[in-house]
Amino acid sequence: MGVLNVTPDSFSDGGRYTDLEAAVHHGVTLFREGAHVIDVGGESTRPGADRVDAPTEIARVVPVIERLFAEGVPVSIDTSRAAVAEAAVAAGAVAINDVSGGLADPRMAQVAAAAGCPWILMHWRGHSRDMQKLAVYSDVVAEVRDELRARADDAMAAGVDPSRIVLDPGLGFAKTAEHNWNLSANLGALVDLGFPVLFAASRKTYLGRLLADEDGTPREVGGREAATLATSVLAVASGAWGVRVHEVRATADAIAVWRATGSPRFRGTP
Ligand code: PMM
């Protein structure tokens, strides 16, 4: 999954793709580089971000989705609002990526069930403005697993086909760096729930902290790519179904190496 944020303020690519032509060009490029779906978002979810209203979000994403649809590029809509998801699906989006796992908007389950498309349910405890206060767990892996299972149960109760549900641990959303590492190390506990798992660590703050200078200055966003690649390969090796990344070509290359290494074709060949 390639990331395309059409926002002025996302932490990594904010402000770069607010121009329609630049956004479409980037989406097509990521698709040609090997992304299976382009995740278009019109609202920043970085910690502390203020919300935008639904009409603003729709005005940002719909023209981009229409153009990518016309170019034959599959798009997922990154939103936690039912009205935005509905408008995006009408414009051609083939999946809904909901960082709130259906909690932010009670109508989302109904929209996802009616659309019949894949619905990514991310682990979430509250809006970005104050989510880090909610990063309190006694056993982060068990609690995220149980809360995600509850989201999937609610989705199915609302009529969403189980085969359309994808789960995501929500790295950085109401999670400290330690929580993120713990979830990454135990991704199998989420995979065991039986739904495809999406892993989205790309360029996140905890990678910047890991790679901080001696004086503690976090590595800048653009310098987190090699670390992102490592997280993606490790996630896929742990059973993740997909990775959501800003840099698609390098990710596709790294996963191709992992796949070739694991392929029986190469084992024991003289
Ligand atoms: N993270 C961001 C946005 N959307 N969607 C899913 N499913 N999982 C995530 O972890 C996630 C997301 C924030 O990062 P961005 O600024 O790179 O979009």
Assign residue 143 the CATH number of its domain.
Answer: 3.20.20.20
- Span 159-170, pLDDT tens digits: 999 999 999 999
Answer whether residue 72 shows pLDDT above 80. Answer: yes
Burial 44-60 (b: 16+ CB within 10 A, else e): bbbbebebbebeebbeb
Structure tokens at 128: 């970005």
Answer whether residue 264 shows pLDDT above 70. Answer: no
Protein residue with least CA distance to atom 11, ligand 1:
200
Residue 270 domain flag: no
Pocket test for ligand 1, best of 4, 98, 99 (most atoms within 8 A of CB): 99
Share of the chain above pLDDT 90, in %: 87
Cβ of 108 less than 6 Å from ligand 1: no
Residue 163 domain flag: yes
What is the predicted pLDDT for the residue at 185? Answer: 98
- Span 89-110, pLDDT tens digits: 999 999 999 999 999 999 999 9
**β-bridge pairing 165-168 and 198-199:** unpaired
For residue 98, what is the enclosing H or E element?
strand 95-98
Residue 198 domain flag: yes
pLDDT band at 267 (very low <50, low <70, confident <90, very high): low
Overall number of domains in the chain: 1
Structure tokens at 196: 């495809």
CA 115 to chain CA centroid, Å, is: 20
Cβ of 76 less than 6 Å from ligand 1: no
What is the predicted pLDDT for the residue at 142? Answer: 98
From the list 36, 68, 72, the residue with the least C-alpha distance to 241 is 36
Structure tokens at 120: 């990514």
Residue 178 domain flag: yes
- Is 151 labeled as catalytic in the residue annotation? no
- Span 175-220, pLDDT tens digits: 999 999 999 999 999 999 999 999 999 999 999 999 999 999 999 9
Cβ of 84 less than 6 Å from ligand 1: no
Active-site residue, selected from the candidate residues 145, 244, 259, 265: 244
What is the rounded average pLDDT of the residues 6-17?
Answer: 80
Active-site residue, selected from the candidate residues 145, 164, 204, 224: 204
What is the predicted pLDDT for the residue at 263? Answer: 65
Cβ of 198 less than 6 Å from ligand 1: yes
- Span 117-141, pLDDT tens digits: 999 999 999 988 888 899 999 999 9
200 CA closest ligand 1 atom index: 10
CA of 200 to the centre of ligand 1 (A): 6
Residue 265 domain flag: no
Sign of CA dihedral 153, 154, 159, 164: negative
Give the whole-angstrom CA distance, residue 100 versus residue 258. 31
Pocket test for ligand 1, best of 1, 81, 97, 98 (most atoms within 8 A of CB): 97
Answer whether residue 51 shows pLDDT above 90. Answer: no
pLDDT band at 12 (very low <50, low <70, confident <90, very high): confident
What is the predicted pLDDT for the residue at 265? Answer: 62
Residue 268 domain flag: no
14 CA closest ligand 1 atom index: 16
- Residues with Cβ within 8 Å of 62's Cβ and at least 6 positions away in sequence, in order, are 87, 88, 91
Contacts 24+ apart (CB under 8 A), 92-96: 92/65, 92/66, 92/68, 93/40, 93/65, 93/69, 93/117, 94/37, 94/118, 95/37, 95/119, 95/120, 96/120
Residue 23 domain flag: yes
pTM, to two decimals = 0.95
What is the rounded average pLDDT of the residues 51-62?
Answer: 95
- Residues with Cβ within 8 Å of 26's Cβ and at least 6 positions away in sequence, in order, are 4, 16, 17
Residue type, 110: Q
Cβ of 119 less than 6 Å from ligand 1: no
97 CA closest ligand 1 atom index: 7
- Is 175 labeled as catalytic in the residue annotation? no
pLDDT band at 266 (very low <50, low <70, confident <90, very high): low
User: What is the span of the domain harbouring residue 116?
Assistant: 2-260
Residue 269 domain flag: no
- Span 225-258, pLDDT tens digits: 999 999 999 999 999 999 999 999 999 999 999 9
